[in-house]
Amino acid sequence: MFTGIVTDIGEVVSVEPRGEPRRVRIACSYAVESIAIGASIACSGPCLTVVAVAREEERTLFDVDAAAETLACTTVGSWAQGTRVNLERALKIGDELGGHIVTGHVDARARLVSRDDFDATARFWIEAPHDLSRFIAQKGSVTLDGVSLTVNEVEGDRFSVLIIPHTLSVTTFCERKSGDALNLEVDLMARYAARLNASARG
């Protein structure tokens, strides 16, 4: 489990096809001794399992495997050497829950329709897949590229979020532009509420 609060920006060092899956190596600033084999790290949204760790000069490197489902549902399939990714370590008992409960199970790719920058802030309008838009509500939570955000407005399948200066400075959102794909995870509570409501109706 995660909170959607990014703690580092990693950089893809290499992508190696291994049959259907891909082995992705990511450089980060986490201490090498703090990453265990088998640990979960959210990489721009999807929760990926660490399969190797190494040290290279001042950088820590860790490897993850992206399987077919991850490649199909997320932006991982488009990653290449130099791609920057938002990183978050798995939540520990007692950690501050600064965002909202995030599973790291990306639902689909959403599309950044427009970006309006003002006063060092950015307003993103996002288009979600139609079957997921019912889980997105005004003032509710949503996760985009691993970042916990509050929904400002909703219009059909589209919704807006406001990216404050701090978030722009510590995530990859500073690089995002109209037309970009973003990893979308809808709020877990909204999903359960919809399921309970459907069951109650029979």
Active site (catalytic) residues: 2, 40, 47, 49, 67, 105, 150
- Please check whether residue 161 is in contact with residue 137, taking contact to mean a CB–CB distance below 8 angstroms: no
Spatial separation of the C-alpha atoms in residues 24 and 81, rounded to whole Å = 9
Please name which of 155, 122, 154, 162 lies closest in space to residue 138, comparing C-alpha atoms.
154
- Sort 85 into a burial class: Cβ within 10 Å, 0-12 / 13-18 / 19+: buried
Spatial separation of the C-alpha atoms in residues 196 and 202, rounded to whole Å = 10
Q: Identify residue 129 by its one-letter amino acid code.
A: P
